[in-house]
Structure 1
Amino acid sequence: MAIQIPTELLDGCVLGLLTRGDYYGYTLTQEVRQQIPISESTLYPVLRRLKKNGWLTTYDEPFQGRNRRYYQLTASGRTRLTEIQTDWVAFQPAITTLLGGHTHE
């Protein structure tokens, strides 16, 4: 896929995954990569920004002598996800129409 994912949509993808539970960075990247091609170097700055904005928190858990940093959705992160989902519902059919596709309205 050569299309670059807009920042807001990538934020929404990460926040949406975190509604399923807490993830550590590597598994979060793998989950996103199952759907869209991104690199770990793409995702970690997104995670830092989402944390800085208060949309997620982190905690560390020991694993095989190392710590894994887990990411957890906050209440304001859930609110932000709802905003992104609302924007997407309006945005997606417009892009589909402009690309010559059909919408299911």
Structure 2
Amino acid sequence: MVEQIFKLSRGNDKAVEKVIFDENVHYLHMVFNKEEGLPEHFSNSNVYMTVVRGTLSIGLDDQEVHEYEAGTLLKIPLQTKMNVKNMHTETLELIVVKAPAPNNAKH
């Protein structure tokens, strides 16, 4: 078998899954319920964030919080301050791709 197969959780429970974490790319699957999210942090690579379901509430650097619905892809540059939250009742599901993998990102 040439391909590798990875499974993502399919429920509504909070999850931050490191699906692929290799030297090329970091591919994460995240699920957050209302008032859940990530601690504020700075991006350690270029971040490509896809909203799969729900509504993402995200504050970047010193901007006001913006909201993005399912079907939206955000490209967030290296060293951007990020505040990722679900402020809505519907479950938020994200796919996050970091490329290049943070170990290979030029700081």
Larger Rg belongs to: 1
Instruction: Report which structure shows greater RCO (CA 8 Å, sep ≥6).
Output: 2
TM-score by length of 2: 0.31
More strand by share: 2
TM-score by length of 1: 0.31
